[in-house]
């Protein structure tokens, strides 16, 4: 090794390397990057490093820049040892001393020229208003005035190199390190760049790597040649001018306003990335929301199911009431109950509320709950409004549409099968679709019918809850569906009965004709007894004539037929029991209504209180809660990995921030701002969408349902979930970025 000290030392010593070695460990093989380098570099020098490819030039300047570590020897910075330096110490050193100009520029290509130069000053803790003039001056100085607001991605190689130099200039550090700064440039651009660097070297130490020394010959003050990681030549060519040296850069923490500015800038400067991230967060919000609402919808269904089987229509706002003395309810009763506070409406004779009516025809069958024509929808989707007593309008939920064409339904011969036997002929003349806002989870249709039809249904409902017992020849015989069922028939005169052959068997001579039968009807409201005379025993050969029916014998056999007058005497009663529906189902408010009713002399059953949670429900709940959690976590991870992929593609950007000296916490915060901005946009879109659903601009039943189950507190919970998720993602990302040295994370990012 030759070391010629032909020119006298003038500048201030800056970097001193003593026996410095660097090794690379790669796939189990140790390669030497630098070996036993001794070098003193001073302020004011324009050092040009040359050497074959692979001779260690990049390694040397990366070590000097604090971008890479060394294994042996010592590096002194202004006389200070660095072998004990931590990663943080090197970061600080880089901030104070080093401005890098990279061969591949390391510019943020989605930023404009101005923004790239401004970036380094913001990182140094200066405010964007302060640096405006300085940035513009520097842009003028490198001759890019007309490209000030052009995105770097649109510039030529020579222009990019000048932006990289401008950025180094803005940093005002004592040392500028440039790896192949003219590598990609035509000779004209190269000349400009070299002259610029030479000018900069007046009050700094400029170190340049090149394989084209000729371009630098005019300006270099010193030439260093590397060979195989060793110092081969070290020529001091020119004297160093003595001038005021650049001091290590003073820097502050990056300002909060600057982080905000960068965060917003990053949110929108890459539109595809923005849209993709927005899409992922939209998916997150909607997926979590739909999980959550389906969980709540299930809750609601289960609450309605968790209820004794007597009342099928068990909404929380329903209170069943009847007189404490079991006498029928009168108009005066309804008047005073209606006046109570918190009462919304009364449903007289509430048995029909719990009566599901089944309508059957040749091609049609459907079911629903009976209702009067009072609240019938005016707008039909098919058919017409009803006129005759046997005409019905069916209003259904769009998801529970009756099967078959409307015309086929209208033309069909239909009948209602009544509880406790008997059928009523009817016709469906109109179809309506229910307002999905008033959805009941059972999805049951409503059958709007005449008062006459309703009365029959009410009677049959009462029949259902009534125990009928016959006394024949002094013996008691239950009347049930299978045998001796009581049925009304027009052909039977009042006070008489047409009986099945079974009745004859009660008499020794096998003849019941002319004998008395006591019929006792007993239910929770009343007990009634009538006595009829058996007038005829019907059998297979005479039943059609006697009963006036064309039905198969199987259908009529085993029954006791009495006159409609007698039947109605037993079952057509005034209202013994009705329901009151309240506005506010809050426990206290509900109890208050019950108390008032009690004072007025009524017995009550609150369906909210009467709910008994079945054992199965608690088991279902045991599964449901973890299922909800698992699904939510799964959605979280799907989004997490997609966001991670998106962020990975931006690893270069964040490595640049890091190489420019931004600390981990600030990088995380800049990322946070970006994520939070997108999340808020996604959440805003979600809320806007929910609003459109609410005001019914968007009219899809399932989504309506979803939104219906969303309370204010749920919006807040969901908000917290997505915010927490975005914070976790940016934190993990920032940590991963800082796990390895700046050079490694840059290498990884660049891959």
β-sheet with 475-479: strand ranges across: 475-479, 467-472, 516-522, 527-537, 496-499, 559-562, 485-488
d(Cα 635, Cα 576) in Å, to the nearest integer?
54
Question: To the nearest whole angstrom, how small is the minimum distance from the Cβ of residue 22 to ligand ADP?
Answer: 8
d(Cα 316, Cα 610) in Å, to the nearest integer?
9
Q: Could you say whether residue 204 binds ligand ADP (CB under 6 A)?
A: no
Choice between 58 and 466, CB closer to ligand ADP: 58
Question: To the nearest whole angstrom, how small is the minimum distance from the Cβ of residue 101 to ligand ADP?
Answer: 15
Q: Could you say whether residue 751 binds ligand ADP (CB under 6 A)?
A: no
Angle ∠(374,565,354) on CA atoms, nearest 5: 40
d(Cα 375, Cα 480) in Å, to the nearest integer?
36
Q: Could you say whether residue 181 binds ligand ADP (CB under 6 A)?
A: no
- Cα-based distances in Å from 543 to 495, 509, 510, 556, 567: 19, 22, 19, 8, 20
Query: Comparing C-alpha atoms, which of 502, 461, 459, 462 is closest to residue 482?
Result: 502
In this structure, the strands spanning 602-606 and 365-371 are unpaired
Choice between 58 and 512, CB closer to Mg ion: 58
- Interacting residues of 26 by C-beta distance below 8 A, sequence separation 6+: none
d(Cα 298, Cα 303) in Å, to the nearest integer?
8
- Work out what residue 59 binds among Mg ion, ligand ADP, none; the CB cut-off runs from 5 to 8 Å by kind: ligand ADP
Choice between 397 and 746, CB closer to ligand ADP: 746
Choice between 58 and 304, CB closer to Mg ion: 58
Among 41, 42, 57, 402, binds ligand ADP (CB under 6 A): 57
Q: What does the CA dihedral 373, 379, 381, 386 come to, rounded to 10 degrees?
A: 30
Choice between 232 and 549, CB closer to ligand ADP: 232
Site string for ligand ADP, 597-636 (x = CB under 6 A): ----------------------------------------
Choice between 63 and 693, CB closer to ligand ADP: 63
What does the block give as tokens for 76?
């002194």
Q: Could you say whether residue 53 binds ligand ADP (CB under 6 A)?
A: yes
Residues 323-362 touching ligand ADP, rule: CB under 6 A, are none
Question: To the nearest whole angstrom, how small is the minimum distance from the Cβ of residue 225 to Mg ion?
Answer: 14
Question: To the nearest whole angstrom, how small is the minimum distance from the Cβ of residue 751 to ligand ADP?
Answer: 12
Helices and strands (DSSP H and E) totals, the chain: 23, 28
Question: To the nearest whole angstrom, how small is the minimum distance from the Cβ of residue 167 to ligand ADP?
Answer: 22
Among 11, 33, 263, 749, binds ligand ADP (CB under 6 A): 33
Choice between 161 and 537, CB closer to ligand ADP: 161
- Work out what residue 51 binds among ligand ADP, Mg ion, none; the CB cut-off runs from 5 to 8 Å by kind: ligand ADP
Query: Total residues at the site for ligand ADP (CB under 6 A)?
Result: 12
Q: Could you say whether residue 740 binds ligand ADP (CB under 6 A)?
A: no
Choice between 52 and 435, CB closer to Mg ion: 52
Q: Bridge partners of 175?
A: 98, 205
Choice between 58 and 745, CB closer to Mg ion: 58
- Cα-based distances in Å from 286 to 283, 326, 689, 696: 5, 54, 10, 18
Q: Could you say whether residue 54 binds ligand ADP (CB under 6 A)?
A: yes
Choose the stretch contacting ligand ADP; rule: CB under 6 A; options: 51-59, 190-198, 294-302, 701-709.
51-59
d(Cα 194, Cα 610) in Å, to the nearest integer?
90
Query: Comparing C-alpha atoms, which of 319, 398, 355, 335 is closest to residue 608?
Result: 319
CB-side neighbour CA atoms (13 Å) of 443: 11
Q: Could you say whether residue 445 binds ligand ADP (CB under 6 A)?
A: no
Binding residues for Mg ion (CB under 5 A):
58
Among 51, 263, 383, 420, binds ligand ADP (CB under 6 A): 51
Angle ∠(143,149,150) on CA atoms, nearest 5: 85
- Work out what residue 553 binds among Mg ion, ligand ADP, none; the CB cut-off runs from 5 to 8 Å by kind: none
What does the block give as tokens for 158?
């020579």
Question: To the nearest whole angstrom, how small is the minimum distance from the Cβ of residue 674 to Mg ion?
Answer: 33
Question: To the nearest whole angstrom, how small is the minimum distance from the Cβ of residue 68 to Mg ion?
Answer: 12
Among 26, 86, 309, 541, binds ligand ADP (CB under 6 A): 26
What one-character DSSP code corresponds to residue 151? Answer: B
Among 59, 221, 291, 563, binds ligand ADP (CB under 6 A): 59
Choice between 183 and 248, CB closer to Mg ion: 183
In this structure, the strands spanning 527-537 and 516-522 are antiparallel
CA 287 to chain centre: 4
Choose the stretch contacting ligand ADP; rule: CB under 6 A; options: 55-63, 69-77, 254-262, 595-603.
55-63
In this structure, the strands spanning 205-209 and 467-472 are unpaired
Q: Could you say whether residue 749 binds ligand ADP (CB under 6 A)?
A: no
Choice between 51 and 73, CB closer to Mg ion: 51
Contact residues: ligand ADP, CB under 6 A: 24, 26, 31, 33, 51, 53-59
């Amino acid at each position: 090794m030759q070391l010629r000290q032909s020119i006298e030392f003038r500048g201030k010593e800056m970097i001193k390397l003593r026996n410095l070695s660097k090794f690379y460990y790669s796939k189990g093989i140790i390669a030497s990057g630098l070996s036993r380098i001794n070098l003193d570099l001073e302020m004011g020098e324009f050092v040009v490093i040359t050497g074959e490819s692979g001779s260690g030039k990049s390694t040397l300047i990366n070590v000097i820049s604090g971008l890479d570590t060394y294994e042996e020897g010592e590096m002194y910075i202004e006389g200070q040892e660095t072998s004990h330096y931590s990663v943080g110490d090197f970061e600080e050193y880089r901030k104070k001393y080093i401005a890098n100009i990279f061969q591949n520029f390391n510019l943020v290509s989605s930023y404009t020229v101005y923004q790239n130069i401004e970036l380094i000053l913001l990182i140094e803790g200066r405010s964007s208003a302060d640096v405006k003039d300085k940035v513009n001056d520097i842009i003028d100085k490198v001759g890019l005035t007309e490209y000030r607001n052009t995105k770097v991605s649109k510039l030529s190689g020579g222009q990019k190199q000048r932006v990289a130099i401008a950025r180094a200039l803005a940093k005002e550090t004592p040392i500028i390190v440039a790896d192949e700064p003219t590598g990609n440039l035509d000779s004209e651009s190269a000349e400009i760049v070299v002259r610029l660097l030479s000018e900069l070297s007046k009050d700094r130490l400029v170190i340049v790597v090149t394989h084209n020394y000729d371009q630098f010959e005019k300006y270099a003050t010193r030439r260093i040649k590397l060979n195989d990681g060793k110092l081969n030549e070290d020529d001091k060519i020119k004297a160093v001018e003595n001038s005021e040296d650049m001091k290590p850069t003073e820097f502050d923490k990056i300002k909060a306003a600057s982080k905000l500015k960068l965060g917003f800038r990053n949110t929108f400067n890459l539109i595809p990335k923005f849209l993709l991230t927005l899409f992922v967060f939209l998916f997150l919000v909607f997926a979590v929301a739909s999980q959550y609402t389906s969980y709540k919808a299930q809750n609601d269904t289960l609450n309605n199911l968790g209820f004794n089987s007597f009342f099928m229509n068990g909404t929380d706002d329903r209170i069943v009431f009847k007189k404490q003395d079991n006498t029928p309810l009168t108009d005066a009763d309804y008047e005073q109950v209606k006046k109570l506070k918190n009462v919304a409406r009364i449903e007289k004779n509430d048995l029909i509320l719990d009566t599901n009516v089944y309508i059957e025809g040749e091609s049609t069958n459907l079911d629903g709950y009976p209702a009067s024509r009072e609240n019938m929808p005016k707008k039909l989707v098919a058919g017409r409004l009803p006129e005759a007593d046997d005409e019905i309008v069916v209003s259904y939920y769009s998801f529970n549409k009756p099967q078959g064409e409307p015309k086929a339904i209208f033309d069909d011969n239909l009948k209602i099968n009544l509880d406790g036997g008997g059928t009523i002929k009817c016709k469906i003349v109109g179809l309506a679709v229910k307002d999905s806002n008033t959805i009941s989870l059972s999805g049951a249709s409503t059958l709007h019918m005449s008062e006459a039809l309703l009365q029959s249904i009410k009677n049959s409902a009462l029949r259902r809850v009534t125990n009928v017992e016959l006394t024949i020849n002094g013996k008691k015989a239950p009347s049930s569906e299978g045998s001796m069922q009581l049925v009304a028939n027009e052909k039977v005169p009042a006070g008489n009965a047409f009986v099945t052959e079974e009745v004859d068997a009660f008499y020794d001579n096998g003849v019941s004709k002319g004998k008395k039968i006591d019929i006792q009807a007993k239910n929770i409201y009343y007990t009634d007894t009538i006595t009829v005379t058996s007038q005829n025993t019907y059998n297979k050969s005479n039943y059609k004539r006697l009963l006036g029916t064309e039905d198969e014998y199987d259908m009529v056999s085993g029954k006791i037929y009495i006159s409609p007058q007698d039947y109605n005497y037993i079952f057509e009663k005034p209202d013994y029991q009705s329901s009151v529906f309240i506005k506010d189902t809050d426990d206290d408010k509900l109890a208050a209504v019950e108390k008032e009713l009690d004072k007025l002399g009524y017995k009550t059953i609150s369906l909210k209180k009467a709910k008994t949670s079945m054992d199965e429900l608690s088991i279902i709940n045991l599964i449901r809660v973890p299922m909800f959690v698992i699904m939510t976590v799964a959605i979280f991870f799907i989004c997490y990995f997609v966001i991670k992929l998106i962020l990975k593609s931006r690893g270069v950007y964040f490595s640049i921030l890091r190489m420019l000296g931004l600390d981990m916490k600030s990088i995380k915060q800049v990322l946070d701002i970006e994520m939070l901005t997108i999340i808020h946009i996604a959440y805003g879109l979600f809320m806007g969408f929910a609003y459109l659903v609410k005001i019914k601009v968007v009219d899809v039943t399932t989504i309506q349902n979803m939104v219906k189950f969303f309370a204010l507190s749920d919006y807040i919970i969901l908000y917290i979930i997505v915010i927490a998720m975005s914070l976790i993602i940016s934190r993990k990302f920032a940590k991963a970025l800082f796990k390895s040295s700046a050079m490694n994370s840059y290498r990884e990012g660049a891959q």
